[in-house]
Amino acid sequence: MTIDTVVFDLDGTLVDTVPGITHALNIALRSYVLTEFTDDETRQYVGLGGDALVRAALEKSEASPDLAGEVQEAYLRAYAANPGHLAVVYPGAAELLKRLRARGIRLALCTNKSGRITGGMLRALGLGEAFDAVVSGDELPYRKPDPRHLLEAVRRAGGTAALMLGDSTSDVRAARAAGAPVVCVSFGYGTAGLEPDSWIDSFDDFDSDVLVREALGRDL
C-alpha cells in the first residue's frame, strides 16, 4: 500500500522547543520556590508530556508530589502566554512541508504537547496552516506511544496509510504498533537507543531516503 500521509512529531522533530519549555517551567518553579531546571534536564522529558516533566522537577526539589497539579497548571499558563518564545523551526522543516503538500501528500501533526500550547506555537512560527490535521496530547484519552493517537491523526487528515517522522521512543513505539514505517531525525531529543526503520540527519535528506521514496511511491 502506498503511503498517502506523513505524520510529524513536534518537539525535537520539527521545532527546537527545549529553551521555551525550560523558561516556562522555571517561571512556575520559582513561584513555588523550587529548584529550577536546565535545558539538558528538560530535554530528557520532552515528548513524554508536561506532567512527566513537572513530576521530575518536583523530584529534583524533593517536593511533595501533591503539588504536581498546581505546578503543572502554573507551567502551562506561563507557556500558553507566549508559546513561540525561544522556539525555533529546524532548518528545512517548513520547506519540506511545502514540498510534501505540493505533491499531494497529506500532513498530520501528532504531539503529546497540550492543545492550547500546540496551536499557539504553530501560529507563532508560521505553521498554523501547514497541516491537514493536528492532534495534541490532551485531546484524546490516550496519547503516544498508544498507536490510536497516531491513527486518529491519520484519520483526521483524511489519509489511509502513514509514515511517521519523529525523534523519540514514543514515536517509534506508536508507529510500530500502528503498522507504520518510522523515520527518525538524528538531531532530536530522545534518539539514544532508538531503532527506527531509517534515520535522516537533516530535512534535505528526507527526499532522498530510500525508505521514504519507496513508502511514498513518488519523487519529491
Catalytic residue ranges: 9
The C-alpha atoms of residue 106 and residue 101 are separated, in whole angstroms, by: 7
70: CB partners within 8 A, 6+ apart? 32
Q: Pick from 155, 54, 49, 42: which is nearest to 108 by CA?
A: 155
CB 32 within 8 A of CB 63: yes
Rounded to 5 degrees, φ, ψ at 70 are -65, -45
Closest CA to 172 of 195, 203, 142, 149: 195
Q: How many CA atoms lie within 13 A of 159 on its CB side?
A: 29
Sign of CA dihedral 122, 126, 130, 132: positive
Taking each helix axis from N to C end, the angle separating 18-31 and 68-81, rounded to the nearest 10 degrees, works out to: 130
With contact defined as beta carbons under 8 Å apart, do 25 and 55 qualify?
no
